[in-house]
Each structure stands twice: as structure tokens, then as C-alpha cells.
């Protein structure tokens, strides 16, 4: 079912709190109590779960309210939470260069995330802080967050960032000193702590949980308004076990909120014959190592160590790891970033500074000759669209925390307006991306999807054409028994909407889930349709032959639907 | 003719291919036709162990010194007297081909170019070439790039391959994957 629809439309919805409904906190009918307890993370049957924390959206004994209520067409702010500079040993750019380029390519917000290391903690932070302050002054229309690419002890890397504040730098530095996997695994003789075997070895896992609790404590104590963590390139080396994701999420649910759905380095798979690097898209060309989770071993049917349509396998696989987390009924959001270290066809190369001794590569060198590299500038290819109340540091982070996030490649869409609501008793106003709504058992749930198609060319100079939108849904089955579970077999593509070739502007699709009997979640993804399996799924990217511009996808974050 | 297992001391911060080369160097002067690495996850931290099929005499003390760790020799099919340890587990896994990643195997040195899948199987100890997401026919070309690391699975030696640029199949494990950044 597909049709083109004019941009504007009318709608009706109920704003009022309804006395006597489930939302009435005075209502002590068992159903309402059970419903509130469910939202408080205690499960519909009131059985205490084994989880150590309540969900981010819990409202304890107050009446539950929908999360991310639908409120018409919101504003999207495009950004990138994973950017390197000369303060990374494998980076090269000035902060100012990255911010200027990101602004040129339409970014509203950025996070500077140089790698944690002994030298970074010791020498880089003091240098990068004034550079970031200067960049903010030079580009007042771009939010420039100070962050860190944290070596998660026992696992991969992650973006950690805070809004600007009096204690921001102190918190980041203390965090890195105490909890970065590189510092923890570096021998004392070399300036580290020598407390864990390797940055990725399992003896680091408790430090990762302590680190996230530390960040949460900084929020609770008021030293910072908010702090967020996103796991980066999660499947690249297979070292992020399913139980580690669950552990991070449950240790600090308001801090550890998601992962890169798509890694950076999207130019890496361009064919050598076309002037590219000819390696694995996303830099995903590894195979298992001793710290990899054995369940991710490649098989005859899939290779988790590769990207699929440019997205990480954990996100791209329907019914895979991401869905396994979502099927627990708890938030976990996906993003898309550049991971820009060295930009493909840019003429700069790293400076001659000794990063290990100074914390900086020094000023980059302009060779005048385009270099064959793997990355794009922030905003050039990958965008994380965030729905926020305003373009302010805290509001954009709140938008990310609440999951109002869409991961977009190559401008395959300009925006997305999703409304999910009960057509019977329940939340008739409905919620949008990242939200949580409710319906009375047996009633219908309506999904209205409005996609803003690209109104102009992307940075490859072509106007991308969205070919289809998949509506994916699966039951909420509650907390897993096996914390290393990474499949949600009941999650499926329930409907694929074809986008007419002639479609322009905004296209609208609707779908109804009839007679809903159990809690479920739904999410959207869309594709240019160029590379699909026979089932309509993304194709595993071919090593050395993956033109990112001819295989574009977007992934939107889920909406949870509870049943009362 | 015996299987042995070892827990070598490994240098940190280098790629798997580099570690393989160091391990094989330790076998200089030891006639071994199969050498595999194994990951032992029974302890709190995963440990890389090694197994080898030795076809001649072996000076265990010298080998142990070269590898920087204990060496255990399986002297009978059941080796009842050998206590369980990462080295013993590796030796048994290599012998039974239940698990492991083969860094040396018969026929390896002849498979350095691009070969039909049938030739890979006929000319080496590799039992099967398995494509990820694609069927492999005997005439499909396998571009080895001089680096083959077949896996022991269920008693067989299996080479996992995947489509690569130029319409060929390449082994899933590459010799020099993307250097991972980070501050180590």
C-alpha cells in the first residue's frame, strides 16, 4: 500500500488528562496499578525483575504518561557524535577544521571524541579544551560538545559526552583517568594503571559498569545536567558481548542509551579502481580475536564482522541483537556518525608531532594532493537527526536520551514524522520516535508515517530516491533470562511500503495493528532499493567493492506500545 | 607423531598475523605439519593457546622456552594421565579438530595465488570451502592473497570465504585488517 500524499494534513487528538482513565493516579483499579507498575519497570504482573535499575522513562508511583508524545511536526537537528582531531594519535585535523567542515555540511551539533589514552589524559585534554571553546566562539550556530572516545574496559569504544558546564572538563578527565581501558591496561611503568590484562579483556567489565555509574552520579549530584554514552562500531571486532550491552544499559539507563547503528569510515569500501581504499565498508574487515564473543563467529549464513548496507550487523539484522534488546521493552537507540580521522580525497596528512609525548600530532600538513582515505567529513554522508525542543546543548542531548533519533546515510531522507496511537481506549494522542504509548487490550493501534523525501542533492551531487520503507515490529517479551541472548525471532518486517518513483515532498503511509493483544514495539527503516536480498534486507557489504552512495538506508528508533 | 598443546606468551598490540609468525618461528627445527591457535575461555580472561601435530622428535623444554609458556604432550589417544589445562585442552581440540584456527597445515604453501575452490580442497588439508551467504562451486575462484587460516569445525578443516571485489571469493580472515585505533 503506497500513495503520495500532500504535505499538509489535518488530525485530531485528545490533549486532556482523562479522569478515571488509567492515567489517573488516584485510580487504584488493579489494571491501572498494574499498568503503572509495568511502566515503572516492574513488569505487568508486578513481579520484581532481576534488573538493577528502572527504565529511563519510569515514573514510579505517579500516573504513567506517554513518552515522547506526538506534537505535530518537530524540528530535526543533524549531528555527529564521533569526530577525531590531531589530539588522537591516528587523527590529524584541527578542531576548527572539523567544526567548519561539519557546519558546511549542515551539522547543527558535533561531539569531539578523541581517543582515550595515557597521553590524551595527560597532555591532550588541556589543549583541546581551549580549541573547543574557540570553535564555539567562531561558529555560534553549531553546538560543539566536548567528549571522549572511551575505550570501554572489556569492550569496544564509546562516545561519552557532556554539555558545557563548570565541571565538564573535570568530569571527563577524572572519568578517563579512572576508567579508560587503555589506561587501565597500560602497565604502571608506561604511565597506566596496569589493572586489567587488555583493554578488551573480560576482567575490564566491572570497570565499565563502575564508569557508567560514576557518570550517572555526576548527574544525580548536579555536577552536570546530563551525560550520555553511545557504544561505537559495536560489531567491528566482536568484543561487545550481549551481556555487556545489557550491563551498561542497566547500570546507568539515563547515561548508556545506545550505539552506532552505522559506523563511520563509510568511504573505506570504495573500489581501488574508483580511487578508493578498497577495504571493508565502515573499516569492518576484521575477524574474531581472543576477546570476541564466540556467538558472533562468522557462519555460512552471515558475517557479523561486516556491515550490511553500511550499517552494523547488530542493527541491520531484523530480529538480531538490537531487536533482542528492544524486545525486552527497554530503550536502546541507534545513530550514524562519521568517525572522521582522515577524509577521503582531502589533501591533508598528519602533522609531525609526537602524540605519545605531547598529546598532539601537531598542525596537519597540506600536501596539495588528494589522499586516498576511508572517512567523510561530518555531515557529508552520515547524519544523526535528533528531535529536540530547541537547539541548545541540553535539549539536543535530551532528544538523544529520549530516542528521538533517526540515523541517515547520504540524505536518503530529510525528515520523518511518526505517530503511533491507540484508535480505541488508551493513548489517542499517540507518541513519536523513541516514545512509549499504550492501548487497551484488543484495540487497534494506528501508525502514521510521513517521510520528507530529499529536496535536493546529497554531497555526491545526486538527489537520492527512497524506494521503500519497512515497518518492523516484534512482541515485547520482557527481560531475558540469558543475558547473552542476541536474537528476537518474532520480530519481523510486517509491511513494506513502496515509494512511488514520481513521489516528491512528503509521502505518507498508514498501517493499523488490529486487535492488539500484547505489548509490542515497532520501528522503521528505509532504503534506496539498490541493494536488497530477495527478502528485502540489506546485503552484506563486499570487501573492496562497496560504493556507499549507491546503497543508502535510514533507520528510525522504535516506539514501544504497552497493553493495558 | 604426537599432538602437543601450549600456552604461549604473546606480545600485545599486534595483529593476529604477526602473532602467528612469532608462534611459527618458535617451531623452527620442530617438524610440525599442523599448528592451530585456540581461544580458551574457561578462565576469567580469555587465553590464546596453541596445538601442533609434531611428526618428528621434539625437545619440549626448548619449545616451551621458545613459546614462553607451558607445553603439554598427548602421548596416547586418551592421555588419561594428563591433567586438564588450557594447553591440554588445546592439544585435544587440535587433534580432534573440534575447534581452532589453523596457521599451518599441509598444502598451505602451494595455495598462495587465486585457485579454483576444487583445487583448494584437492591440494591441501582443507576439507571444505564454505561461502558466507553464497554457495561455492568447484570452479569458483578463491583469492588467497597468500594468507589462509582455515578453521577446525566438527572434525573438519573449513575455509570460510566471502565475495570480494572482482567476482572472486576471499578468505574471511584477512592478513592485515583495518588497524584499530585507540591509545595502546
Radius of gyration from C-alpha coordinates of chain A = 23
Identify the residue among A239, A289, A338 best suited for mutation to test binding to B, counting B beta carbons within 10 A and taking the highest.
Answer: A289
| pLDDT for the residue A74 | 77
Could you list the residue range(s) of the whole structural domain that residue B50 is in? 2-104
Domain stop point among A400, A424, A450: A400
A303 inside domain: yes
- Entry field: residues in chain B: 184
Residues of A in contact with B166 (CB under 8 A): 544-545
Q: Which of residues 421-440 of A touch B (CB under 8 A)?
A: none
Residues of A in contact with B147 (CB under 8 A): none
- Residues B58, B122, single domain; the answer is no
Residue ranges of chain A with per-residue pLDDT less than 70: 1-64
Q: Which of residues 309-338 of A touch B (CB under 8 A)?
A: none
CA-nearest of A423, A419, A422, A444 to A432 is A419
A407 inside domain: no
Identify the residue among A117, A300, A373, A532 best suited for mutation to test binding to B, counting B beta carbons within 10 A and taking the highest.
Answer: A300
Residues of A in contact with B172 (CB under 8 A): 287, 298, 303, 305
B130 inside domain: yes
Is the CB of residue B177 less than 8 Å from the CB of residue A287? yes
Nearest to B44 among A118, A202, A306 (CB): A202
Q: Look at B164 and A543 and tell me if their CB atoms are within 8 Å.
A: yes
Nine-digit cell string for B66:
621458545
- Residues B144, B90, single domain; the answer is no
A314 inside domain: yes
How many whole angstroms separate alpha carbon A165 and alpha carbon A123?
A: 21
Domain stop point among B104, B126, B143: B104
Q: Could you give the angle at the alpha carbon of A83 between the alpha carbons of A78 and A86, nearest 5°? A: 145
Q: DSSP class of residue A41?
A: I
Chain B: nearest CA to A32, how far in angstroms? 46
- Residues A39, A169, single domain; the answer is no
- Residues A106, A235, single domain; the answer is yes
How many whole angstroms separate alpha carbon A252 and alpha carbon A260?
A: 18
| pLDDT for the residue B98 | 96
| pLDDT for the residue B15 | 83
- Residues B57, B87, single domain; the answer is yes
A409 inside domain: no
| pLDDT for the residue B77 | 61
- Residues A460, A559, single domain; the answer is yes
User: Can you give the pLDDT of all 184 residues of chain B as single tens digits?
Assistant: 699 999 999 776 678 999 999 999 999 999 999 999 999 999 999 999 999 999 998 999 999 999 999 999 997 666 667 888 999 999 999 999 999 999 999 999 999 999 999 999 999 999 999 999 999 999 999 999 999 999 999 999 999 999 999 999 999 999 988 765 544 4
The CATH number of residue A543's host domain is 2.60.40.10
- Residues B138, B93, single domain; the answer is no
- Residues B79, B141, single domain; the answer is no
- Residues B18, B40, single domain; the answer is yes
Identify the residue among A121, A149, A265, A290 best suited for mutation to test binding to B, counting B beta carbons within 10 A and taking the highest.
Answer: A290
Confirm or reject contact between A373 and chain B (CB < 8 A).
no
B176 inside domain: no
Phi and psi at residue B100, in whole multiples of 5°? 135, 165
Could you list the residue range(s) of the whole structural domain that residue A61 is in? 3-73+414-563
| pLDDT for the residue B79 | 60
For the segment A392-445, what is each residue's pLDDT rounded down to a tens digit? Answer: 999 999 999 999 999 999 999 999 999 999 999 999 999 999 999 999 999 999
Q: Look at A265 and B131 and tell me if their CB atoms are within 8 Å.
A: no
| pLDDT for the residue A127 | 98
Domain stop point among B48, B75, B104: B104
- Residues A330, A192, single domain; the answer is yes
Report the first-to-last Cα separation within chain A, whole angstroms.
30
B93 inside domain: yes
B182 inside domain: no
Q: What ipTM goes with this model?
A: 0.95
Confirm or reject contact between A532 and chain B (CB < 8 A).
no
Q: Are strands A333-336 and A109-112 parallel, antiparallel or unpaired?
A: unpaired
The CATH number of residue B73's host domain is 3.30.70
Residue matched to cell numbers 528485502: A536
Domain stop point among B88, B104, B120: B104
Count of CB atoms situated within 10 Å of the CB of A427: 29
A242 inside domain: yes
Q: Look at B178 and A290 and tell me if their CB atoms are within 8 Å.
A: no
Residues of A in contact with B182 (CB under 8 A): 115-117, 151, 157, 182, 199
How many whole angstroms separate alpha carbon A161 and alpha carbon B46?
A: 31
Residues of A in contact with B184 (CB under 8 A): 117, 182, 185-186, 199
Phi and psi at residue A131, in whole multiples of 5°? -65, -40
Is the CB of residue A329 less than 8 Å from the CB of residue A400? no
Amino acid at each position: 500500500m503506497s500513495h503520495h500524499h500532500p504535505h499538509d494534513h489535518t488530525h485530531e487528538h485528545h490533549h486532556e488528562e482523562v479522569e478515571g482513565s488509567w492515567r489517573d493516579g488516584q485510580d487504584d483499579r488493579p489494571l491501572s496499578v498494574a499498568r503503572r507498575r509495568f511502566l515503572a519497570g516492574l513488569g505487568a504482573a508486578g513481579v520484581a525483575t532481576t534488573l538493577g535499575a528502572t527504565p529511563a522513562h519510569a515514573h514510579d508511583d505517579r500516573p504513567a504518561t506517554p513518552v515522547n508524545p506526538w506534537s505535530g511536526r518537530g524540528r530535526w537537528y543533524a549531528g555527529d557524535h564521533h569526530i577525531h582531531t590531531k589530539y588522537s594519535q591516528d587523527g590529524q585535523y584541527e578542531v576548527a577544521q572539523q567544526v567548519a567542515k561539519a557546519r558546511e555540511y549542515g551539522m547543527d551539533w558535533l561531539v569531539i571524541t578523541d581517543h582515550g589514552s595515557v597521553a590524551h589524559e595527560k597532555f591532550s585534554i588541556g589543549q583541546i579544551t581551549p580549541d573547543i571553546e574557540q570553535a564555539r566562539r567562531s561558529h555560534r550556530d553549531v553546538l560543539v560538545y566536548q567528549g571522549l572516545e572511551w575505550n570501554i574496559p572489556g569492550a569496544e569504544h564509546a562516545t561519552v559526552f557532556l554539555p558545557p558546564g563548570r565541571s565538564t572538563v573535570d568530569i571527563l578527565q577524572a572519568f578517563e583517568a579512572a576508567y579508560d581501558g587503555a589506561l587501565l591496561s597500560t602497565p604502571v611503568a608506561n604511565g597506566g594503571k596496569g589493572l586489567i590484562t587488555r583493554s578488551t579483556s573480560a576482567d575490564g567489565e566491572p570497570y565499565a559498569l563502575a564508569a557508567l555509574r560514576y557518570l550517572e552520579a555526576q548527574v544525580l549530584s548536579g555536577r552536570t545536567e546530563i551525560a550520555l554514552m553511545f557504544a561505537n562500531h559495536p560489531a567491528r571486532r566482536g568484543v561487545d558481548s550481549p551481556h555487556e550491552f545489557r550491563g551498561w544499559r542497566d547500570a546507568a539507563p539515563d547515561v548508556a542509551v545506545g550505539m552506532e547503528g552505522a559506523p563511520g569510515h563509510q568511504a573505506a569500501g570504495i573500489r581501488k579502481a574508483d580511487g578508493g581504499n578498497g577495504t571493508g565498508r565502515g573499516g569492518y574487515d576484521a575477524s574474531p580475536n581472543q576477546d570476541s564473543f564466540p556467538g558472533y563467529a562468522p557462519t555460512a549464513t552471515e558475517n557479523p564482522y561486516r556491515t550490511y548496507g553500511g550499517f552494523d550487523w547488530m542493527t541491520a539484522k531484523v530480529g538480531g541483537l538490537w531487536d533482542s534488546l528492544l524486545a525486552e521493552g527497554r530503550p536502546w537507540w541507534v545513530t550514524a556518525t562519521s568517525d572522521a580521522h582522515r577524509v577521503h580525497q582531502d589533501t591533508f596528512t598528519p602533522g609531525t608531532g609526537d602524540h605519545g609525548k605531547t598529546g598532539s600530532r601537531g598542525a596537519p600538513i597540506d600536501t596539495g594532493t588528494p589522499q586516498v582515505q576511508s572517512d567523510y567529513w561530518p555531515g557529508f554522508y552520515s547524519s544523526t537527526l535528533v528531535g529536540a525542543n530547541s537547539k541548545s546543548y541540553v535539549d539536543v542531548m535530551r532528544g538523544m536520551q529520549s530516542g528521538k533519533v533517526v540515523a541517515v546515510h547520504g540524505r536518503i531522507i530529510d525528515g520523518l514524522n511518526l505517530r503511533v496511537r491507540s484508535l480505541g481506549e488508551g493513548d489517542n494522542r499517540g507518541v513519536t520516535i523513541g516514545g512509549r504509548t499504550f492501548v487497551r487490550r484488543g484495540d487497534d493501534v494506528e501508525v502514521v508515517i510521513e517521510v520528507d523525501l530529499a529536496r535536493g542533492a546529497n554531497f555526491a551531487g545526486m538527489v537520492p530516491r527512497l524506494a521503500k520503507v519497512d515497518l518492523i515490529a516484534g512482541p515485547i517479551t520482557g527481560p531475558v533470562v540469558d543475558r547473552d541472548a542476541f536474537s528476537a525471532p518474532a520480530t519481523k518486517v510486517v509491511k513494506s511500503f513502496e515509494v512511488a518513483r514520481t513521489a516528491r515532498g512528503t509521502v505518507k503511509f498508514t498501517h493499523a495493528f488490529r486487535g492488539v493483544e500484547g505489548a509490542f514495539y515497532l520501528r522503521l527503516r528505509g532504503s534506496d532499493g539498490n541493494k536488497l536480498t530477495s527478502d528485502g534486507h540489506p546485503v552484506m557489504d563486499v570487501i573492496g567493492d562497496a560504493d556507499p552512495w549507491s546503497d543508502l538506508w535510514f533507520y528510525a528508533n522504535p516506539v514501544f506500545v504497552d497493553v493495558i | 607423531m604426537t599432538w602437543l598443546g601450549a600456552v604461549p606468551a604473546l606480545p600485545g598490540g599486534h595483529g593476529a598475523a604477526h602473532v602467528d609468525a612469532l608462534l611459527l618461528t618458535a617451531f623452527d627445527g620442530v617438524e610440525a605439519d599442523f599448528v592451530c591457535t585456540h581461544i580458551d575461555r574457561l578462565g576469567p580472561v580469555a587465553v590464546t593457546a596453541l596445538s601442533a601435530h609434531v611428526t618428528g622428535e621434539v625437545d619440549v623444554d626448548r619449545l616451551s622456552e621458545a613459546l614462553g609458556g607451558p607445553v603439554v604432550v598427548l602421548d596416547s589417544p586418551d592421555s588419561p594421565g594428563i591433567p586438564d589445562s588450557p594447553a591440554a585442552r588445546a592439544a585435544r581440540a587440535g587433534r580432534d579438530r573440534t575447534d581452532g584456527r589453523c596457521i599451518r597445515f599441509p598444502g598451505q604453501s602451494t595455495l598462495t595465488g587465486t585457485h579454483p575452490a576444487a583445487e583448494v580442497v584437492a591440494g591441501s588439508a582443507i576439507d571444505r570451502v564454505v561461502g558466507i551467504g553464497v554457495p561455492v562451486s568447484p570452479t569458483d575462484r578463491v583469492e588467497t592473497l597468500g594468507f589462509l587460516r582455515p578453521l577446525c569445525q566438527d572434525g573438519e578443516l573449513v575455509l570460510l570465504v566471502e565475495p570480494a571485489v572482482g567476482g572472486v571469493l576471499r578468505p574471511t580472515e584477512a592478513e592485515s585488517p583495518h588497524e584499530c585505533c585507540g591509545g595502546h
